[in-house]
Amino acid sequence: QRARGNKRRGSRAMREAGENVGEIWTAAWSLGLEWTDQWTGYHGIGVYNLIHAWELDQVIAEATRQDIYLNIVVHNHGKFSTYWDPEWSLNPFNKVNGGYLSQPEEYFSNPRARDSFRALMRYMIARWSYSDHVLSWQFWSELDLTGTRSDMRGHRLPEVVAWHREMGRDVKAMDPSAHLITTHTCHDYTQQNPEIISLPEIDYCAGDAYA
């Protein structure tokens, strides 16, 4: 109840300040749907965390009341990174945890992993695409920090471009409300991969820069 109260106060403060867009991560520690079954509410791959799903129901309902539009992030980089905010050691896709991927990069090329992402998005669309206050589905936050390469160039791999083309196409076909699709890299526009952001399946370019 305290957490819900804080969220309500925060959303009211946003509205009163004239803000009307927010970003929500479905991260392992908050609102995520898939993660290790060693954590409360999670059941591994393909069986979703209904506690967090209900919590996201409440977030979307409150955003609607306050007229705030949400960019919903599906994956944060740490889930599939071994070097930056690494969470790969806990990821259920990791072979050491009973999964079927040896390295996080394989998530972009493995057919089973692609099917898993499609299934995850099918669930998210079925549950939340009704809302006109869902602004967009953001596939990744800081895509360039995923993988095992510490040069921040993993987002330039051909298989990562192909993944965005295929998943973007499939999500657009699934979503009856035609929500926008984006993906994100850290730093400014110079860090973007033009091959990804020029895809017709990517509706706008998400980035950031810190002073």
Q: What is the pLDDT of residues 22-41, one digit of tens each?
A: 999 999 999 999 999 999 99
Model confidence band, residue 164 (pLDDT cutoffs 50, 70, 90): very high
Q: What is the pLDDT of residues 54-94, one digit of tens each?
A: 999 999 999 999 999 999 999 999 999 999 999 999 999 99
Distance linking the first and last C-alpha atoms of the chain: 36
CA distance 33 to 98: 18
Helix (H, G, I), strand (E, B) or coil at 140: strand
CA distance 121 to 138: 11
pTM of the prediction? 0.92
**Helix runs in 66-179, H state only:** 111-128, 158-174
DSSP 28: T
Contacts of 4 (CB under 8 A, 6+ apart): 58
Which residue, chain included where needed, has tokens 């091959």?
Answer: 195
Quote the pLDDT of residue 208: 82
CA distance 147 to 103: 7
Mean pLDDT over 5-28 rounds to: 82
